[in-house]
């Protein structure tokens, strides 16, 4: 989830940068990545319209991707190195691969953080949805009022969740990041002056003010200290020795002498837990 700022007034671009501190002219907009999977193209148009209307009325924005079958959605997952969707709206009664079967495959990737909302004509399918940890279900035909209620509830849950998301802020924006996309957090060059931290993710480096200890308290396992000024996500380690680690983005970090043993033990426990899960 990315959070951007939308200017409420028309401003010249050169003047814009001089008034960033005037927060009253900005509203915080949360951007969610959403997949819609339904074999009915008419439902795609309805949901696109609903999301568009909701973006106008709420401080939310949505980047939508549409799929006509569960197979197409699974192919998209297979082609991604990291999972990008925050929300999936998934029709249950599809030809070939049903919505329930599609959701089971998604959980097996495993993507346990994506929030699934089922679309269905039959409420009796609700019992089956518990097996794949669906957040909610929407009965067809959809009404805009119920749609807004459910999506608002889900977005609020994701913004306030501490188990899968890190919520921090920098000088200009609030950030809500999936734990799984965070590669490492390290002290920035200006740390001793501005208490600056750098959060490295799959796609971007974010600079925030804060302390590693405070951030670590929000994260915990599978994040570990490998140096007094560096925290890494064990999920993203690709290679390590007693002196350094190489992460999934090919970034290399030093391992502190006093942290080498604890890193080795933590990574061994991590690998064992992955085998047990599999």
Domain 2-160 is classified in which CATH homologous superfamily? Response regulator (3.40.50.2300)
Contact 199, 185 (CB under 8 A): yes
- Binned at pLDDT 50, 70 and 90, residue 193 comes out as low
* Mean pLDDT value of segment 135-152: 89
Residue recorded with tokens 């990008």: 84
The pLDDT of residue 112:
74
SS3 89: strand
Q: Cα(64)–Cα(48) distance, rounded to whole angstroms?
A: 8
DSSP letters, 44-84, are HHHHHHHHHHHHHHSSEEEEEEEESSHHHHHHHHHH-SS--
- Binned at pLDDT 50, 70 and 90, residue 181 comes out as confident
Residues linked to residue 2 through DSSP beta bridges, in sequence order: 31
- Tens-digit pLDDT profile for residues 199-257: 998 778 888 888 888 888 888 788 999 999 999 999 899 988 989 999 988 999 999 99
Q: For residue 167, what are the CA distances in angstroms to 22, 27, 63, 222, 276? A: 22, 17, 20, 17, 30
Query: Is-cis flag, bond preceding 85, omega within 30?
Result: no
- Tens-digit pLDDT profile for residues 62-120: 889 999 999 999 999 888 756 678 899 999 989 889 898 998 898 887 777 788 999 98
Contact 88, 72 (CB under 8 A): no
Would you kindly state where each structural domain of the chain is located, as residue ranges? Answer: 2-160, 181-277
> In the CATH scheme, what is the code of domain 181-277?
2.40.50.1020
Predicted TM-score (pTM) of the model is 0.57
């Amino acid at each position: 989830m990315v959070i951007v700022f939308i200017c409420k007034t028309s401003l010249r671009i050169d003047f814009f940068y001089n008034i960033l501190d005037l927060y009253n002219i900005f509203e915080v907009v949360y951007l969610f990545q959403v997949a819609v999977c339904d074999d009915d193209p008419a439902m795609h148009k309805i949901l696109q319209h609903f999301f568009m209307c909701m973006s106008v009325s709420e401080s939310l924005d949505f980047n939508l991707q549409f799929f006509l079958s569960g197979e197409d959605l699974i192919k998209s997952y297979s082609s991604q190195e990291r999972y990008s969707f925050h929300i999936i709206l998934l029709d249950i009664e599809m030809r070939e691969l049903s919505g329930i079967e599609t959701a089971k495959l998604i959980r097996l990737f495993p993507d346990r953080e994506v929030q699934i909302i089922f679309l269905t004509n039959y409420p009796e399918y609700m019992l089956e949805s518990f097996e794949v940890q669906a957040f909610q279900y929407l009965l067809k035909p959809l009404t805009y009022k119920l749609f807004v209620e459910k999506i608002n509830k889900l977005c609020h849950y994701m913004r306030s969740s501490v188990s899968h998301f890190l919520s921090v802020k920098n000088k200009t924006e609030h950030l809500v990041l999936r734990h799984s996309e965070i590669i490492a957090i390290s002290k920035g060059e200006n740390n001793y002056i501005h208490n600056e931290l750098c959060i490295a993710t799959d796609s971007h480096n974010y600079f925030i003010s804060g302390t590693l200890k405070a951030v670590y308290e929000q994260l915990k396992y599978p994040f570990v200290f490998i140096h007094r000024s560096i925290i890494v996500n064990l999920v993203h380690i690709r290679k390590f020795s007693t002196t350094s680690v190489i992460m999934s983005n090919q970034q290399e970090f030093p391992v502190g002498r006093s942290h080498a043993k604890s890193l080795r033990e933590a990574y061994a426990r991590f690998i064992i837990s992955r085998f047990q899960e599999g």
